[in-house]
Amino acid sequence: MTKISYSEFKTGRRFIGRLPHGRDLIQSVENFCQDVSIQMATFSVLGTVTSAILGTYDQKQMVYVTFMENSPLEIVACTGNVSIKDGRPFVHAGIVLSDEQGKIIAGHLFSETVVFAGEIDLQELIGDPLERTYNHKTGLMQWNQLACKQEING
């Protein structure tokens, strides 16, 4: 692929809310989207977690290498999107966390990242929902290329 493939969406409902204490961040967002019939969205989260699982993708082995931080951490930034995988809302997100000394860790967000206190800003996107499918070239679950209807030079 030599061009950026994309789909265009209109903005739908916008939700500002509090994430449940003691629950997994990803599962909470996915369950909310399922409950209110959201198939596509972008979101950001601020707050704190009691523990987190993060990872980085090893491009040679085509697997995520994950690690757990089992201490209170501040969510400096967490951004992600929601699309469809296996017929259900699926969260894909990255997160930047800091400890009490300001040391930063960051990576791909995984379950079970447990929320202590969190606020979410979620923007629904209206249009043909993108679905995650396996990409043999990258080894990742990526948006189905056929669903991205347009291309521009990148």
Confirm or reject CATH 3.90.650.10 for domain 3-153, answering yes or no: no
| Chain segment 34-82, per-residue pLDDT in tens | 999 999 999 999 999 999 999 999 999 999 999 999 999 999 999 999 9
State pLDDT tens for residues 1-10: 567 888 899 9
Q: Are 31 and 126 spatial neighbours (Cβ–Cβ below 8 Å)?
A: no
Residues forming beta bridges with residue 83, ordered by sequence position: 90
Please, which residues bridge with residue 117 across strands?
48
Counting Cβ atoms within 10 Å, is residue 20 exposed (0-12), middle (13-18) or buried (19+)? middle
Apex CA 56: angle with CA 52 and CA 57, to 5°?
A: 140
Smallest CA-to-CA distance from 34 within 78, 79, 83 is with: 83
- Segments in the chain forming alpha helices (H): 25-35
Q: What is the pTM of this model?
A: 0.91
- Reported as a pLDDT band with limits 50, 70 and 90, residue 141 is confident
Q: Could you tell me the residue ranges of all domains in the chain?
A: 3-153
Strands 41-58 and 73-85: antiparallel
